[in-house]
Structure 1
Amino acid sequence: MVLLGSLANALGIAAGTLIGLCLTRIPARIKETVMVAIGLSVSILGITMALKAEDFFFVIVSLIGGAVLGELFSLEEKLHQAGRFLERKMGKSKSGNIAEGFVTATLIFVIGAMAIVGALDSGLRGDHSVLLTKSMIDGFTSAVLASTLGIGVLFSAIPVFFYEGSIALLAGLIHASIEEKLLESLIAQLTGTGGVMILAIGLNMLEIKAIRVANLLPALPFMILIVWLQHSLF
């Protein structure tokens, strides 16, 4: 089953969220310190990912182009609108800001090499080991996030499933169209670009700087274009 890994990842997030919601009544001081710990961990993860880029100059270029496009289309606001739509459907939430939890968790779980590589493995070889590993990591992360951000984290399982599932279903076409060397370079550069965004999420969680991370998402297709042009021309 091609979508087994994607489904397991979504279910892992859902299960982790439900566990985390049982921990929402912990004292505010503990929640605050836990959030700082998560923010620091996410920031370090982002730095580690960013350092995997083959050429950081192109990471900067893609982020600038992505930021301009993202601001023009107000992607951050559209994601928050989706979160607020969920809030209206569920009524007043006592377990955190649904929009904030949805946006933060979606960005953390979608951005990164494991989602791409794992989905490709699922689609090409029927090997779900990477996504199954990711489901355990995301399950633990979602439990911690849900304990502070609330039930909004649960809904991030939906875009994660569709994102990874789409890559898995298109894996054969991707493999046939992109040679191995180009694909490796693409994954490295996307990981570096995604790492900067993960770092931005960490800074948001630490309340150091309010960054509209979703407005940086167009940097990813920008990077794909840059890597393709570089490979084609040079």
Structure 2
Amino acid sequence: MPIGVIINSLAVFLGGLIGALLGDKIPERARASLPLTSGVASMAMGVSLILKMNAMPAVVLSLILGSAIGEFTKFESGIEWCVHRIRRPIEKIFSNKGTVDNQKEFMEKFVGIVILFCASGTGIFGALKEGMTGDHSILITKAFLDLFTAGIFAAALGYIVLTICVPQFVVLICLFFSASIILPMTTPAMVADFSACGGMIMLATGFRISGIKAFPIANMLPALILVMPISYLWTALVK
């Protein structure tokens, strides 16, 4: 039973719903400053994961190749297209449209939090661990953070934030059921490099959410698929 996956996705839904309902009642200063706090938290989590790195060349190569694949396939543009398609119907259903009207600013923040919720190293590893051992403590801990983070961003972006629970659930449930296949094929070094790669993406996500630099973080996601095989090959052939 994927208890952690369900609780984590429900936390995003509830956080997004509560944040959107209270959006107009939250002072403008708080709506502007709280996302910055989430950005810093994302950067701190990213740094903590990067410190677990085993083979830097393997991680860097994975990021370069993964980003090239993402740019070539225009992965982030596809996500933005999907967001644009679902934003209008949601704004028609709900009166609260959020406080961010600029389309470019909206997309930068929304794509950033999609990656933060759906592709964080903590979520991916937590889903794999629960699928393999039944231990859902990592995902439940993450659910508390996601509850408040979703609420913070929903206050600015509106009800569309609660829809993130759908792709998040799909990603985590797929990892949960594939854990028995993936984890036995990994080594501690491969997991460490995978976490470091996810940490770099989370660091870039923090910069993007904070409005410092709009990294194309969605285009970096293919690196998460490449990093474990490249880490294995690097360790076997070079070290």
- Provide the rounded CA distance (Å) in 2 between the counterparts of 1:35 and 1:120: 28
1:10 Cα offset (Å): 0.5
Percent identity reads 32
- Provide the rounded CA distance (Å) in 1 between the counterparts of 2:172 and 2:16: 19
1:71-110 correspondence runs (5 A): 71-91=71-91, 94-96=97-99, 99=107, 102-110=110-118
Q: Note the alpha carbon deviations across 1:87-140, whole angstroms, 9 max, x for none.
A: 132245622567555422221122333223322232223222222222222112
2:218 corresponding residue in structure 1: 214
Q: Which amino acid aligns with 1:227?
A: S
Q: Note the alpha carbon deviations across 1:169-191, whole angstroms, 9 max, x for none.
A: 12222244x15xx1x22221111
Q: Note the alpha carbon deviations across 1:20-59, whole angstroms, 9 max, x for none.
A: 1233122333322223222222222222222221122222
Unpaired runs of 5+ in structure 2? 101-105
2:47 corresponding residue in structure 1: 47
Distance 1:187 1:96, change over 3 A: farther
Q: Which amino acid aligns with 2:68?
A: V
Q: Does the 8 Å CA contact 1:10/1:161 hold for their aligned counterparts?
A: yes
Select 1:196's aligned residue among 196, 200, 204. 200
1:143 corresponding residue in structure 2: 151
Distance 1:58 1:96, change over 3 A: farther
1:206 Cα offset (Å): 2.3
Distance 1:30 1:123, change over 3 A: closer
Secondary structure of residue in 1 paired with 2:23: coil
Select 1:160's aligned residue among 126, 146, 168. 168
Q: Does the 8 Å CA contact 1:87/1:99 hold for their aligned counterparts?
A: no
1:16 corresponding residue in structure 2: 15
Structure 1 runs (4+) greater than 4 angstroms displaced? 96-102
1:63 corresponding residue in structure 2: 63
Q: Does the 8 Å CA contact 1:96/1:151 hold for their aligned counterparts?
A: no
- Provide the rounded CA distance (Å) in 2 between the counterparts of 1:131 and 1:34: 23
**Is the deviation greater in 34-43 or in 185-194?**
34-43
The root-mean-square deviation of aligned C-alpha atoms, in Å, is: 2.2
Equivalent residues, number: 229
Secondary structure of residue in 2 paired with 1:208: coil
What TM-score do you get using the length of structure 2 for normalisation?
0.85
Q: Does the 8 Å CA contact 2:123/2:172 hold for their aligned counterparts?
A: yes
1:116 corresponding residue in structure 2: 124
